[in-house]
Amino acid sequence: MCGIFGYIGNQKRAAAIVFEGLKTLEYRGYDSWGIAVKAGNRIEIEKRVGKIGQAKVSLPQSNLGIGHTRWATHGGVTVKNAHPHRDCSGNIALLHNGIIENYESIKSELLAKGHTFLSETDTEVAVHLIEENMKNGNTFPEAVRRAFLRFSGLNAIVVMNSNSNQIIAAKNGSPLVVGKSDSGFFLASDASGIVKFTKEIIFLKDDEMVILDDSVNLFTVSTGKNLPLSYEHVDWIIEEADRGKYPHFMIKEIFDQPKVIRNIAETYADQIDDLAEVIKVAKGTFFIGAGTAFHASLAGVYLFSKIAKEHINTAMASEFNYLEDFLTKQSLIIALSQSGETIDIVEPLTRAKQKGSSVVAIVNSLGSTIYRMADKKLLLGAGPEKAVASTKAYVAKLAVLLMLSFAMVRKTSDAQKLLLEAAGEIRRLLSDENLEKLRRLAKELKGNENIFTVGRGTSYATALEAALKIKEVSYIHTEGLAGGELKHGTIALIEKGTPCFVFAPMDETHEAILSNAMEIKARGGKIVGISPQKAEVFDHFIEVKDVGEASVITQIIPAQLLAYFLAVEKDLDPDKPRNLAKSVTVK
């Protein structure tokens, strides 16, 4: 996680430039932030807890600065733990993305040598180790290189030195990019932070380090050997998101969904037909994703079984590392990701590629790490998703997977029709009347400590996703289950009035899930039925019209809306829930 931004050049506005860059990267972490600039021969640092939002920086003019937005891993959310961290001399400042897994042993060593630590972070060992390496006669770049080689884990560090007027960055696992323009050099944790300053970008590879001063010099960390520079000209226009008339990005993005689905239905047929051919020749295809994207993967497995009569495997990306021993050159991994930066996906994809397997990326972010590493790419085209809770990228993934499963049996046009119907039904679900109904339900449910969501088949994926959406923005414990699993244990938790959302589309799961609803109701549960058809067992009925297999898309909408209204009713920020980040780049 963590957003990183650095600037060195001919502008005296380093703090303002870094601040502006960090704002674009805040989706990577927003519990605290900090900026360091060179002021004379010293370094001045400003750090604060909380979102960078409308904050103002009061640092002196400078042409060299680095900054960081944090998502805490080691050490609580405090000003002391916010980056950048300084060495004992105060002339070196460092920020970091990742986890230095062996930090404890390095810290004991440095404490014994008299270094003073001010924070509880793993990061701080890095700056003191660099200082120690310099005391032992190494130049600044060599001290950084040697320090970086000692770290285990996936890390990126950025270090500035007010004596040598340099910024040095090194990476292994975590992304880093460098950009150049007439006003100087920029450094960021991903290209989206940099493209408004320059389109000439170097994407650093693992085991590379870069020195920025009057020029740019690139090295291999492990050997120290100089590397040629290869700038890529990116012509991406990163869409700026705007809330428009909506009070939050989450509700704006829920309202974007009909347009997103329509766009996929109307313009994706060719690329989806191509991808279907790739799946047909693969020997073993796996969908992988994390969180919401994993739920889309799971829905995809059911859709492929039902429509394409094809077996696809799925795994949570973070577990795929332990399931991939059987991958071969004929295997195909299809990674689903909104950000394209999730380390839990990047890591297994790297290993799969080493084994010669093919990789397809279905991502929303152009130029992201996963997008760049894939052999074949499909962009979701959902537009920027700013709310941490994913909504439109989820339905976009479902739309693509639905079309893909139909494309496998050469019936892409059937899927296109269903998707257009689904887009129409979502528009109906977003009517004022329906919104009011869900707002009232949120008022009724907001005091509950537990909610359950159940479904079978594709609706099992919906139940998991509904539970995730509700819990992450409302902080109400919500558990999603396959309908048949309840009686195997969890039904013990149902008490009088426990809300339970039952997803009951008109498919092969309809009758069985209504029986499960009866079992819950018999134990006092309050049933909220989401279905095309009212049933006696429902205490509340939310009608979602039948759109065949595309019902997997429409059924999630009431749950997204309810999650949003629960957050609003509880006076919480639905766009930036506590403890989360939009892009998850640590393991």
- Judged by the rule CB under 6 A, the positions of this chain that interact with ligand F6R are 290-293, 337-339, 342, 345, 389-390, 468, 472, 584
Task: Give the Cα separation of 38 and 43 in Å (integer).
Answer: 5
Minimum Å distance from CB 129 to ligand F6R? 31
Task: Give the Cα separation of 521 and 539 in Å (integer).
Answer: 9
Q: Extract the tokens encoding 217.
A: 């010099």
Catalytic residue among 171, 245, 582, 587: 582
Minimum Å distance from CB 382 to ligand F6R? 11
Task: Give the Cα separation of 45 and 90 in Å (integer).
Answer: 10
Do 233 and 360 touch, CB atoms closer than 8 A? Answer: no
Do 98 and 189 touch, CB atoms closer than 8 A? Answer: no
Do 412 and 273 touch, CB atoms closer than 8 A? Answer: yes
Minimum Å distance from CB 340 to ligand F6R? 7
Q: What is the CA radius of gyration of the chain?
A: 25
Of 65, 82, 60, 63, give the one whose Cα is nearest residue 73: 82
CB-wise, 175 or 291, nearer to ligand F6R?
Answer: 291
CB-wise, 290 or 527, nearer to ligand F6R?
Answer: 290
Minimum Å distance from CB 375 to ligand F6R? 18
Tell how far CA 311 is from the center of its chain: 27
Q: Extract the tokens encoding 176.
A: 């880093």
Minimum Å distance from CB 293 to ligand F6R? 4
CB-wise, 151 or 320, nearer to ligand F6R?
Answer: 320
Q: Please name the amino acid found at residue 558.
A: P
Contacts of 230 (CB under 8 A, 6+ apart): 202
Q: Extract the tokens encoding 138.
A: 């190494």
Catalytic residue among 2, 23, 180, 469: 2
Q: Extract the tokens encoding 299.
A: 């829905």
Q: Which letter does DSSP use for residue 284 in this model?
A: S
**157-173 residues labelled b (16+ CB within 10 A) or e (exposed):** bbbbbbeeebbbbbbbb
- Which residue is nearest to ligand F6R, using beta carbons? 291
Do 74 and 102 touch, CB atoms closer than 8 A? Answer: no
Does the active-site annotation cover 582? yes
User: Which residues are identified as catalytic?
Assistant: 2, 582
